[in-house]
Structure 1
Amino acid sequence: MNTQHEAPRIVVGVDGSPSSRTALRWAVAYAGLVGAAVEAVTAWEIPGEASWSAPAVDAEFDEEEAEKLLVDEVRTVLGEAGSRLVRERLVHGHPVEVLVDAAEGADMLVVGSRGRGGFRRALLGSVSQQVALHAPCPVTIVRPDVSVA
């Protein structure tokens, strides 16, 4: 957790899924209530390196393109004004490891209930389950059908 002199920090996982978009909106709304900074984190892996990469891309994918996709995703979800409230971070690695590491010292980690992959009927995706088990801070898991005011 942050010390008394630092603003609270909320980390939110972004992968382009409906759950992720709702989680991003939820994190920004919550941050506004508690005066926190929001850090949107996307895990970047080379296609074929693992079964998950986000946002979805083609074979010509590179880190620069991934960074642009993250910035565009935040802007699309929050609009121009809302996106100014968020710091985007693209990190190479597996989503669970990236999010758990990013949550070090954070006041909360926010993730969607299901990401881009997984089984349709699963209540939680594997990433949300694993970060809930391993994060060094409280975790909020947001379903895609949650209304965010």
Structure 2
Amino acid sequence: MVVGIDGSPSSQAALRWAVRYAGLVGGKVEAVTAWEVPGEASWSAPAVDATFDEEQAERLLVDEVRTVLGEDGASLVHEKLVHGHPAQVLVEAAEGADVLVVGSRGRGGFRRALLGSVGQQVALHAPCPVTIVRPDVPAE
């Protein structure tokens, strides 16, 4: 299975969900982050500044997976950084996957939206079933 990671609470919840599900079905998890060169006319995940390079983005992805899952959980995940627009990267990465998992809201866009633009695009265009995970909501 493929899971999109961008550092948002939704993508962290999606990563945890994907690892739990993979454990139930005996699957493998590939955590994918889309990275775009700073200055391109779109958002990137994780958010970067003009001095950020691809090597730093790769380290950030690995660190994100370890932070969310711990060392033992991170050993179950293969991290992959791909250049391009997040929705397109995830749709292409999902070729041959059993499921594509994304968070309901990422780092960009309008806060009031129920579903992020990347989630909408992958739900429409993915070559496999898509699971959209809402962020963990603390009990009140």
TM bracket, shorter-chain basis = over 0.9
Give the structure 1 partner of residue 122 of structure 2.
Answer: 131
Which TM-score applies when normalising by structure 2? 0.95
Cα deviation 1:26-51 (Å, max 9, x = unaligned): 00000000000000000010112133
Q: CA RMSD of the aligned region, Å?
A: 1.1
Moved >2 Å (runs of 4+)? none
Give the structure 2 partner of residue 43 of structure 1.
Answer: 34
Give the structure 2 partner of residue 3 of structure 1.
Answer: none
Question: Residue 67 of structure 1: SS of its match in structure 2?
Answer: helix
How many residues are aligned here?
Answer: 138
Aligned 8 A contact 1:22 1:146 in 2: no
Q: Which 5+ residue runs of structure 1 have no aligned equivalent?
A: 1-9
Provide the C-alpha distance between the structure 1 equivalents of 2:30 and 2:95, rounded to a whole number of angstroms: 12
Does 2:60 match 1:69? yes
Does 2:61 match 1:99? no
Aligned 8 A contact 2:39 2:50 in 1: no
Q: Spell out the pairing of 1:13-32 with structure 2 (5 A cutoff).
A: 13-32=4-23
Which TM-score applies when normalising by structure 1? 0.90
Give the structure 2 partner of residue 6 of structure 1.
Answer: none
Match of 1:112 among 103, 107, 110: 103
Give the structure 2 partner of residue 59 of structure 1.
Answer: 50
Q: Which 5+ residue runs of structure 2 have no aligned equivalent?
A: none
Aligned 8 A contact 1:44 1:94 in 2: yes
